[in-house]
Structure 1
Amino acid sequence: MEFDDKVPIYYQIEQYIDRQIIVGDLAPGDQIPAVRQLALTLTVNVNTIQRALAELIRQGILVSQRGKGNFVTTDTAVLAAMKKRVINAELAETYEHLMGLGMTPAEMLAALEAYIQERKDRDAHD
């Protein structure tokens, strides 16, 4: 994983785990790798991993079971809220970029619809 120097590493690790859950690499109830294993895999300090996991536990996305490890919550409402938060953050960033280009919301919608159609057409031919 490559890290962005402008964003705290622990936060990027939180986002990485959020995305793994959203795409199904980590399912509800799955145990996540141990702290030391994550630190080795992501080549970061153990304390950084612990900080990211502590935040995910605080948010209810992960559940800690003493002596067993950390698990993805099975609470579908928590996972749905997390997914919505991640999607909204992506949309907010795109919106700000497009506003910076001087686009109106109507132009953004038209451009997005055209882009989606082009992608569907291209993907159908691949």
Structure 2
Amino acid sequence: MEFDAKTPIYYQIEQYINREIIIGHLRPGAQVPAVRQLAITLTVNVNTIQRALANLIGAGILVPERGKGNFVTTDQKVLGKMKQSMIEGEFKALYDHLAALELSPEEMTTAFAQYVQTQQGGERHE
């Protein structure tokens, strides 16, 4: 994983785990890799991983089980809210970039609809 120097690493790790949940690599009820394993895999400090996991636990996305580790919540309401929050964050960033290009909301909507249309049947970009 490559990190953006402008965004705190712990936050990027939170977003990474959220994406893994949304795309199904980490399913509801699945155990999240251990802190040390995540630190090795992502090549970051253990404390950074612990901070990211603590935030995800605080948000209810991960559920700790003493002596067993951390697990993805099975609460679909929490997972749906997390997914919606991520979608809104992506749209906000896109909107801000397009607004900086002085596109009107109508132009943005039209351009996005055209882009989606051209992507149907094509490769999926991630």
TM-score using structure 2 length: 0.96
Give 2:115's aligned residue.
Answer: 115
**Which segments of 5 or more consecutive residues in structure 2 lack a partner in the other structure?**
none
Give me the whole-angstrom Cα distance separating, in 2, the residues matched to 1:81 and 1:121: 29
**What is the aligned partner in structure 1 of residue 43 from structure 2?**
43
Which residues of 2 match residues 1-126 of structure 1 at below 5 A? 1-123=1-123
Please report how far the alpha carbon of residue 75 of structure 1 lies from its aligned counterpart in structure 2 after TM superposition.
0.4
Amino acid across the alignment from 2:93: E
Structure 1 residue 121, shift from structure 2 partner: 4.9
| Distance in 1 separating the partners of 2:71 and 2:122 | 39
The percent of aligned pairs where both chains have the same amino acid is: 62
Deviating 4+ runs (over 3 angstroms): none
| SS of alignment partner, residue 64 of structure 1 | strand
Gaps of 5+ in 1: none
- Number of residues paired by the alignment? 123
Q: Deviations over 1:42-79 (max 9, x none)?
A: 00000000000000000000000000000000000000
How far residue 119 of structure 1 moved from its aligned partner, in angstroms, is 1.0
Q: How far apart in 2 are the matches of 1:29 and 1:46?
A: 23
Equivalent residue letter for 1:50: Q
Change in Cα spacing, 1:51 to 1:108, as seen in structure 2 (3 Å) is same
TM-score (ref. length: structure 1) = 0.96
What RMSD, in angstroms, separates the aligned Cα atoms of the two structures? 0.8
Cα distance in 1 for residues equivalent to 2:113 and 2:49 = 39
